[in-house]
Each structure stands twice: as structure tokens, then as C-alpha cells.
Structure 1
Amino acid sequence: MDFILKDWEFKPGVAQARLIQARDGRQVIQLRIDLGLLQLETTGRPDGARPHGHATFFEHLREQARLSKKAEGSFTLSDEQCQDADREFLQFYHRRMCWLALRQYPRAIKDADHTLAFMDFVKRHAPNEDYLNAHEQYRGFVLFQRTQAAAALAVENETPQKAIEEIHAGLDRLREFFASYEREEDLEESGMVQHLRHVEASLRQQFKIGPTLQEQLQQAIADEDYERAARLRDKMKENE
């Protein structure tokens, strides 16, 4: 491994990832870290494991929860299950960072959605508030990265107005997250929100974008111009 690391200098603060072909022909991701590198699978679980025969540990836990419900019992994560869940959260975090660095935006979105769904599961089945909060504190960051990926994908697909709509949708989800902790007044001070606002402003300037359909609809409703609002709703449905 020495020759690999010598030719790939570590840069602090930068996500350094690459896709390579393994000896058996499959693609794998390599992530450069301070003391070496991590190698991750591109599909399924990043470590390539199949916990209890399932594609992910999350899928295994969902099956356990279904069985408990079928037996008319409640399901709560055990200490061991919490530790295994933490491992999977960390693995998907690393791979999500890689996908963003590699500009593989659909894959970044998919991994973010896995993490958000897993967080929802933990919210329902956590053994205590401490464990729940240990994960919920990162929900805003995952929402932020998902929004970044969705907006970047829209720009890549030459639909910059769609990118702005994705940013607005992400901001709405972040607003809900802040409100759930009664911190809505801190929203605009968040570095994540400020970054998304900056990206939106840059896109509007670069592509000369006026108000989005959603913004036009909101203005039409505020002006009580309901005929225009109806036309805008129809247009939004056509674009879905």
C-alpha cells in the first residue's frame, strides 16, 4: 500500500475519493484519510457485508420490527443493535461524502435517503433519549447534503430552475427540523442555510432566473389572483 499512498497525498479538509477497478472487475471507492485509505463497495452496504442475510443492517432491523409487531409486541433497539446501527450510519456517511466528491449525485441522494429513513426508524425504536439525540443532531447535515446533491444534479441536467426548487424544498425540510427543536429563529444563522442561499443567488445570477413557479404561485395567492394561481398549479403539474 506504500506506493499508493506516496502517489496520493492526503489533503486535510478535502474529501479525496476515487473509483477504481478491483481485480475481479467490480468498481470500488477509495477514500484517502490521514493514516491511509478506506475502501468501500459501490452498492449495498459500503463494507460489502450482508447482516443476517439482508442488504443492510437497517433492512434486518425493519424485519425484526415487523416480526415483533406481528407478535403483538413492541420493538426497541438493544445495546448491541445500537452499536451495529452506528457502524452502518458511519459507513453510509463516508460513502455519501465520496459520492459528493465524485459528483455522483444520484448515488449521494440514494445514500442520504437511506440514512434519513434509518434515522426515522431510530426515532421510533431508540432505547432512550440520549441515543435518539445522538443521531437526530446530524439530521440537518444529512438534509443539507441531500439538497446539495439534488440541486447539483439539476444543474448537471441543465435544469437550473429545478435546482432552485430543490434548494427551496431542502430549506423547507431544514425549517421543519429546526422547528422540531424550537430553534426556528436560528435557521437563517445556520451555515448550511447561508450556503444554500448563496448557491441559489449564484444560480439566479448565472442563468438569469426569475421567480420560480412556486414563488409565482405564492405571489398569486397573496394577490388573491386565483385564476392565475390555478394556471400556475396546472403548469406545475405538467412539469412533474
Structure 2
Amino acid sequence: MDSFDHSENIDHIVNSWSFEPGKLTARIATGSDGRDVLQMRIEMGLLQMEIAGRPDGEKPFNFDSYLEYLQAQFLTDLDAMLSDDDCVEIDREFVQLYHRRICWLALREYEKAVRDADHTLALMDLCQAHSTDEEWIDSHEHFRPFVMFHRIQAKALIELEKHTPEHAIEELTSGVEELRELYASNESEEDFENDELHVRLVELRETLREQFEVGQTLNEQLADAVANERYEQAAKLRDRIHKREDLR
């Protein structure tokens, strides 16, 4: 007699939701208890993640994430160092957040993508502050520009949706400068201009500029006025920028 519980078989899901090589496919689905869950189709099936807290749904030591648990510990011991077990859990959380972040970007859930990017960057900062294993730290720091790229992109698209193309363009310009500063701090600024992440952000900015027929933004005009010592014009531009921001 067959004792296999066919309700556990996911054939009906994978058969009705095709995997497309080279394309990230994600969706929000309803769990058996009515809660929303995030699903990503992968070649061998699917990944299912919680939409808030830790993607695997675990609550480490009753905290919403391992990051929050560690931050609470280090509040009382600023000089504490990460244990081997801590490093394993941090690595798990990094991977889970990466999967969820790229799903949010694919679904155009940009605020959630920013949230998960901030979580990842905070984990990286914590690793730098509480570990002496340079190789392990570098294994994460290597991805800091990529996480920042996702965050900059998402922040700009939030500005485009909620405010104006000009705000989105300025967010991209600001983000590019943040990325440039990171490369400079790593003594690799000479590689920045041709870096793929930099090029893609500039391309997005110029695409928005062309699509929405935006010339120089107010902040760009301000920078130009200051650089050319047109201080009266700069003062007027600052007033316009402050008035614009007050209306947001």
C-alpha cells in the first residue's frame, strides 16, 4: 500500500509555473495559513521565503534576524568578537537576503528591496567591526558595490514612482558619488569609470533624462553655479531646491 502523502508533492506547482533560463521569475503567493509568502522559480523547483523578518522564517534567539540578535549583544559589549557559529549564521542570512532582494527588484517592490539591501550592508558593517578574519570579511565586502548598486537603483525608482523624474535622476547622481567614494576608499578609483555597475547607473540616469526630457536638474545647476563662482545664482537655486523639498 502506498503511504506517500501526495499533498507534499509540488509537481502541480512546477508544471504550471515554467522555469525560464536566464530570467528571474518571482511571485507573491498565499500560504496555507493565509499569509503572503514570496516564491522564486528555480531550475530544480522553487524557493519560498517570508516577506518580512528573516527569509527562512526563523527567529534566532527570539529576534527577527541574526543581525538584530547580534546588535543587541554588542550593545552591552562593544568589543565582543564573532564566534564561528555567528559567522555561519551571518553567511546564511547574507544568502537568504540576496535571494529575497533580487525577487523584490524583479517584482518592482523597491522599498522592500531597499530594506533588504540596508540589512545586508548593516551585516557587512558588523562583520568589519567584530571580526579579525580579513579573508572572511573580504568575502562579503567584495559584494558591497553590488548591494549598493541594487539599493541606488531601487531608491531612484522609488523617487520616479512617488515624486518626479528629476528626483530619480538626482538620486542616481548621488548614488554614483557614494559608489565612487567606496572605490576611492579601496584605492581602486581608477577602475571606477569603466566599472559595469557605474556604467549601468549612468545609463539608467541618461535614459530617464532622455525619456522624460529632463535637462540639468536643480542640483546639477547648483553644482555648476558654485563651480563657476556664480554665487547669486547659486543662492537662488538653493531656495528653489528647499521650496521643492518642502512640497514633498
TM bucket normalised to smaller:
over 0.9
Cα-to-partner distance string for 1:67-123 (whole Å, 9 max, x where unaligned)? 223xxxx21111110010010111111110110011111111111111111111111
Structure 1 residue runs without a partner (length 5+): none
- Map 1:17-96 → 2, pairs under 5 A: 17-69=26-78, 74-96=79-101
Rounded to whole Å, the distance in 2 between the matches of 1:237 and 1:26 is 42
Whether 1:161 and 2:166 are equivalent positions in the alignment is yes
Partner of 1:127: 132
Rounded to whole Å, the distance in 1 between the matches of 2:227 and 2:77 is 49
Report the RMSD for the aligned CA atoms in angstroms. Answer: 1.2
Moved more, 75-84 or 227-236: 227-236
Partner of 1:235: 240
Secondary structure, aligned partner of 2:29: strand
Rounded to whole Å, the distance in 2 between the matches of 1:236 and 1:158 is 14
Q: Which of these residues, 177, 195, 198, is aligned with residue 193 of structure 1?
A: 198
Secondary structure, aligned partner of 1:39: strand
TM-score, normalised by the number of residues in structure 1: 0.95
Whether 1:151 and 2:156 are equivalent positions in the alignment is yes
- Map 1:108-127 → 2, pairs under 5 A: 108-127=113-132
1:130 CA drift (Å): 0.6
Which residue identity lines up with residue 58 of structure 1 in the other structure? L
1:163 CA drift (Å): 0.7
Contact 1:151/1:163 (8 A) holds in 2: yes
Whether 1:182 and 2:187 are equivalent positions in the alignment is yes
Q: Of the two, which has the highest radius of gyration? A: 2
1:156 CA drift (Å): 2.1
Which residue identity lines up with residue 141 of structure 2 in the other structure? E
Rounded to whole Å, the distance in 2 between the matches of 1:36 and 1:127 is 38
Which residue identity lines up with residue 197 of structure 2 in the other structure? M
1:198 CA drift (Å): 1.0
Contact 1:78/1:127 (8 A) holds in 2: no
Cα-to-partner distance string for 1:13-48 (whole Å, 9 max, x where unaligned)? 221100011121110001111211110001111111
Which residue identity lines up with residue 147 of structure 2 in the other structure? V
Q: Which runs of 4+ in 1 moved over 4 A?
A: none
Rounded to whole Å, the distance in 2 between the matches of 1:207 and 1:39 is 37
- Map 1:201-240 → 2, pairs under 5 A: 201-240=206-245
Secondary structure, aligned partner of 1:135: helix
TM-score, normalised by the number of residues in structure 2: 0.92
Secondary structure, aligned partner of 1:208: coil
Rounded to whole Å, the distance in 2 between the matches of 1:102 and 1:209 is 27
Which residue identity lines up with residue 55 of structure 1 in the other structure? D
Secondary structure, aligned partner of 2:27: strand
Moved more, 113-122 or 135-144: 113-122
Name the % identity.
Answer: 47
Secondary structure, aligned partner of 1:189: coil
1:174 CA drift (Å): 0.9
